[in-house]
Structure 1
Amino acid sequence: MNFLYILFLFTYTDFKTIFFPVLAVAAVLGPVKSNKSVVEAALWIWVHLLQCNVSNQRNSIDEDALNRPWRPLPSGKVSIQQAIILRYIVIWACVACSSLYGVQIVLISLFLTAITIIYDDYGGATHWILKNLCAAIGYAIFEVGATVVIGPSLSLSNTAIQGICYSAIVVLTTIHAQDFSDTAGDATQGRVTLAIYAPYKSRFALAFFLLFWSLALSLQWHLSNILTVPYVGYALFVGWRYMWYQGASADGKSYVFYNIWLGMTHLLPLWRFRT
């Protein structure tokens, strides 16, 4: 039981940023084959999220000791050597889990492993361009895998392909929203995030893309005016918060609002099925 709790702690902070958003995207784009497939997709997402987080957190122990001391490594629940061993065990667990759904999902799983290695072991996390690119590709891989697992066939519909592509480019252009609250920690790790590289311009770019994508995707998914107005208005609010309220605490709260916007954005393709 304690072991399962430790695994949960590795993934806790990404339930709101990856687990639930990706599961929502898969449920919308799949579409859902059965209740059993929802459970299977949730398990697939979580196992792969565990792989990414174990790999990432073994490189950020000092940072987590300041900001998230409850995590397994800084709290001493797991040693670095144990984390390294766990990482490779989970990689094989991901492959085994994916093999239940065919070669295609195994390849998707291995692709995610490759992106994780680039991000954590070959400097992907240290520069804002690679960091955002890896994040966007990673999101897309999660969504492709989960959508196939949750859906009735091994192929993606045109709507699913469009939804995942839009999701990836939205993440690519806005995911730096997560970096503003942790510039001090990133600086200690030698990372050059967009929030560090261009403090003001990155906030302006975020506000711009929040508004741009809200308008563009409202048109793309033929959202009704009664839904477009509050959706675009909320994007303006989130962008305004990032521009007006700055500092670790304020940016942390703004990131919560950003994730709500991102969740709303992921659900937009659902409007296509209103009839």
Structure 2
Amino acid sequence: MNFCFPSFHVPLTSITVVDFILRLINAVKYHLYTAILFTWTDYKTVFFPITVFACATAPARSCSSLLWCCVWVWFHQLMCNVSNQVCGRKEDKINHPWRPFPSGRVSESQALVIRWATVACCISLSSMYEPELIHTTLGLVIVTLAHDELGGGNNVVGKSLCSAAAYVCFEFGATTIIGVMDFVSVTAVIISGILAFTAVHAQDFPDVEGDKTTGRMTFPIYAPELSRFFTLFVTIAWSVFLSWFWEVGPISTTLFASFGIYVGLRYYFWRTSEADRRSYLTFNVWLMAAHVLPLHARTSVLAF
């Protein structure tokens, strides 16, 4: 007896549609991972400190405002990261070879397109939320141009000025979205900008070798000993000043000042590349703690 099994014929169009969907999913995954690589090293430097600052300085009005704040900060961080990495490809081959440009995920011909596409995206995003935010975005674009294309990031003072201005733009935009810009918010943004100007060089210690090869003159390269002593001084000085200015309680002051002393001592005494990377992680935790202090002006939560 012969058994005949039915044959199943899948239309060519079905295979084509399935193949298209799979390719689309893979493309989205690839580009999303590329975007994460662009921004990876600055989550601790920009995304989390700025978001924490906005939440502490102008407590979120709603979950939607917090979500908008996170989206706005991330896309503007991406814009700055792409610009910086387009101009710093040689440095990244040494310091961050896994980034999209040195690793070959993004070609030279695609670099300029991505650079300006992110600018257009950020302007559109600001206009969707509040037209006045376009000025903040444009301010950040100008600062980024000055830092990357105009060489402001290649010397000690220029790098600090550009970094401080960028922090002010980020914090102004994030705080505007999440809450309201009043006296406490404006004061906190100004103080944070000055803090960034005096302490942003903390991020340069782990990248000394790469910066030397590209001719970038950072504070740790210009003055190796002085820069470490200055880092020790500013972390202690800012810890004491911020605790006094925001009038936090004695226990809070002791804890925050002790942490600042620890961060400064790490930079001064532990000087290997690996130690500097760990010190920078610790510095960013201290920076987030500093950004929380303005919350006390509204809630007295740190009165103990």
Tell me the TM-score normalised to structure 1 length.
0.96
The AA in structure 2 aligned to 1:163 is: A
Distance 1:71 1:115 in 2: 23
The AA in structure 1 aligned to 2:224 is: P
Q: Give yes or no for the alignment of 1:17 onto 2:45.
A: yes
Contact 2:86 2:115 in 1 (8 A): no
In the TM superposition, what is the alpha-carbon distance from 1:261 to its structure 2 partner?
Answer: 0.7
Distance 1:134 1:169 in 2: 12
Q: Deviations over 1:50-95 (max 9, x none)?
A: 1111111012222222222221111111012212101111101100
Contact 2:55 2:178 in 1 (8 A): yes
Q: Give yes or no for the alignment of 1:181 onto 2:206.
A: yes
In the other structure, the counterpart of 2:221 is 196
Where structure 2 has 5 or more consecutive residues not aligned to the other structure, the ranges are 1-28
Moved more, 168-177 or 55-64: 55-64
Moved more, 227-236 or 58-67: 58-67
In the other structure, the counterpart of 1:123 is 151
In the TM superposition, what is the alpha-carbon distance from 1:101 to its structure 2 partner?
Answer: 2.9
Distance 1:241 1:3 in 2: 38
> % of aligned pairs identical?
40
Distance 2:123 2:133 in 1: 9
In the other structure, the counterpart of 2:288 is 263
In the other structure, the counterpart of 2:122 is 94
Bigger-Rg structure (1/2): 2
Distance 1:145 1:80 in 2: 31
Distance 1:81 1:140 in 2: 32
In the TM superposition, what is the alpha-carbon distance from 1:189 to its structure 2 partner?
Answer: 1.2
2:241 to 199, 208, 216: 216
Contact 2:57 2:292 in 1 (8 A): no
2:80 to 35, 46, 52: 52
Where structure 1 has 5 or more consecutive residues not aligned to the other structure, the ranges are none
In the TM superposition, what is the alpha-carbon distance from 1:205 to its structure 2 partner?
Answer: 1.0
Instruction: Count matched residues.
Output: 272
Distance 2:223 2:98 in 1: 31
Distance 2:47 2:109 in 1: 27
The AA in structure 2 aligned to 1:122 is: L
The AA in structure 2 aligned to 1:47 is: F
Matches within 5 A, 1:115-194: 115-151=143-179, 153=180, 156-194=181-219
Tell me the TM-score normalised to structure 2 length.
0.87
The AA in structure 1 aligned to 2:168 is: A
The AA in structure 1 aligned to 2:247 is: H
Distance 1:237 1:24 in 2: 22
Matches within 5 A, 1:27-38: 27-38=55-66
In the other structure, the counterpart of 2:103 is 75
The AA in structure 1 aligned to 2:144 is: T
Q: Deviations over 1:181-204 (max 9, x none)?
A: 111111111111011111111111
The AA in structure 2 aligned to 1:164 is: V
Q: Give yes or no for the alignment of 1:245 onto 2:270.
A: yes
In the TM superposition, what is the alpha-carbon distance from 1:102 to its structure 2 partner?
Answer: 2.8
Instruction: List 4+ stretches of structure 1 deviating above 2 A.
Output: none
Q: Deviations over 1:161-189 (max 9, x none)?
A: 11111111111101111111111111111
The AA in structure 2 aligned to 1:26 is: A
